[in-house]
Structure 1
Amino acid sequence: MRVLLVAVLVASLASCTAPAGDSPPVIVPKGPGEQAATVAPEDVGTDRWSAPSEADLKYVASMIEHHRQALVMSALAPERASNETVKGLASRIHDTQGPEIGAMEQWRRQFAEQAPAHGHRGELPHVDHRSMPGMATDEQLAALRAARGPEFDRLFLQLMIAHHEGALTMANELLASGSDVRVEEMANDVVASQSDEIARMRAITIP
């Protein structure tokens, strides 16, 4: 029995001290329909670059524009809204989504910088803003700009709830098809913050 234990201990020590190159590669799953990548054991847990999926790129490009419209809408509230809760919510949306745009733009810059060095062309997808769920039309934005008082409050809540619901649709689609961890974290943040804000907006009563 003692000989057996010694043999097991020696084998364990040998495996711990074996060169990294002798260890089998780690398989990293990608998005649906994409071939899995192999990563050397020493690269696991590091910031080793891997190309994001088309779903990641499309989501970030779309959500930047989606957030920008929310900033336009929320910036109208201080001078036009009469309900203090609406004003506070609009301020929160503006303060939250501005930094989120900055984070997404930084991610895009890093992708554009790193892609050519890894044999990727670094092309960003074209996004049809009109096709994004929840986006207010030009006519709806014009009506919001023209409204004042309770009329503004009601229209703002109507448009922003629809806008947030569209963002949830986009985020959930990304979580089902994306592959980049940072983009998934951003999508999870959208789901958490905007689900809470939808509940707050639905609870507001405008006489």
Structure 2
Amino acid sequence: MARSAAGGGRRPAIVFLVLVEAAAVLLALGVAGIAGTGDGRPAPRTAAPAGPTPTPTPSVLPTSAIGTAPVIQPGRPGESAQVLRPDQLTPPPGARHNAADIRFVSMMVPHHEQALQMAALVPERAGSTGVIAVADRIRSAQQPEVEVLRGWLRDRGLDSLLGGTGHEHPGMHGMQSPEAIATLTATTGTDFDRMFVEMMSAHHQGAIAMAQEVLANGLDQQVRELARNIAFEQSVEVNRMREVLDPGSK
């Protein structure tokens, strides 16, 4: 009976201790919740990170690899393909033209036409067969180019830009004045040869400058190709004309 009474006395004490511990745990959880939100609401549970965040793979090539691979550009009919650097590529076919293209084409037509006018004076006035040969090359090269230039304007409805005379275009490098053309027309022999070479050399240098401008600022592929041809051909022609007057300058 004494043991039973002692055991019965301990059970209420144990139950009381368990309740006290449970209340302490609940109180601690409540305090933590209030401290976490500041407004009495339980703090939201934050999921533990699953692991380190993967680094995305770059979608572009390193800078050092850009612009180094050669590109094969197909040639025009009858021409072979070319292997070029990316910075040598011209805009793709069908690219739209811009103001620089229009300016170049509309000015190069009267520019070429003045060169043809000067070349037409040569057969009856020149004293040198070398000057005659230069004039023949100018006619054979620039007359077809005038047709190409006019066709480019016509295809784009820009024919009206050819209404004025050549010397009325501001910024048209190398154009000779009407007075200079009249003086050349009245000259013959050796004097004609020297004047013709000097005037035509300045005229060619002007065309080269105009070609360089459109190559720097133009967009149309056909115009750019024509400008490159003009710059190259007329640079060669200037050297040929110098040799005509001074054969020892080679």
TM-score (structure 2 length as normaliser): 0.57
What is the rounded CA distance, in whole Å, between the counterparts of 1:125 and 1:71 in structure 2? 17
Q: 2:172 aligns with which of 109, 116, 132?
A: 132
Shift of 1:95: 1.2
Residue 90 of structure 1 corresponds to which residue in structure 2? 135
What is the rounded CA distance, in whole Å, between the counterparts of 2:185 and 2:194 in structure 1? 13
What is the rounded CA distance, in whole Å, between the counterparts of 1:85 and 1:108 in structure 2? 35
Shift of 1:129: 2.6
The C-alpha deviation readout for 1:29-70, integer Å capped at 9, x for no partner, is xxxxxxxxxxxxxxx96x54x531000001000000100000
Residue 25 of structure 2 corresponds to which residue in structure 1? none
Residue 65 of structure 1 corresponds to which residue in structure 2? 110
What is the rounded CA distance, in whole Å, between the counterparts of 1:202 and 1:181 in structure 2? 32
What is the rounded CA distance, in whole Å, between the counterparts of 2:208 and 2:241 in structure 1? 15
Shift of 1:103: 0.6
Please tell me whether the aligned partners of residues 76 and 145 of structure 1 are also in contact (alpha carbons under 8 angstroms). yes
Identity %: 40
What is the rounded CA distance, in whole Å, between the counterparts of 1:72 and 1:88 in structure 2? 16
Unaligned runs of at least 5 residues, structure 2: 1-90
The C-alpha deviation readout for 1:109-137, integer Å capped at 9, x for no partner, is 11129xxxxxxxx9859874353111111
Task: Tell me the amino acid that sits aligned with residue 100 of structure 2.
Answer: A
TM-score (structure 1 length as normaliser): 0.69
Please tell me whether the aligned partners of residues 107 and 172 of structure 2 are also in contact (alpha carbons under 8 angstroms). yes
Please tell me whether the aligned partners of residues 96 and 219 of structure 2 are also in contact (alpha carbons under 8 angstroms). no
**Secondary structure of 1:204's aligned partner:** helix
The C-alpha deviation readout for 1:123-166, integer Å capped at 9, x for no partner, is 85987435311111111101100001001000000000000000
Output the aligned Cα RMSD: 2.4
Q: 1:192 aligns with which of 232, 236, 241?
A: 232
Residue 201 of structure 2 corresponds to which residue in structure 1? 161
- Residues 151/125 of structure 1: CA separation in 2 closer, same or farther (3 Å cut): closer
Task: Tell me the amino acid that sits aligned with residue 93 of structure 1.
Answer: I
* Length, aligned pairs only: 154
Residue 242 of structure 2 corresponds to which residue in structure 1? 202
Please tell me whether the aligned partners of residues 150 and 206 of structure 1 are also in contact (alpha carbons under 8 angstroms). no
Query: Does 2:93 correspond to 1:53?
Result: no
Please tell me whether the aligned partners of residues 153 and 206 of structure 1 are also in contact (alpha carbons under 8 angstroms). no
Larger radius of gyration: 2
Unaligned runs of at least 5 residues, structure 1: 1-43, 114-121
The C-alpha deviation readout for 1:63-109, integer Å capped at 9, x for no partner, is 00100000000000000001000001011101110000001111111
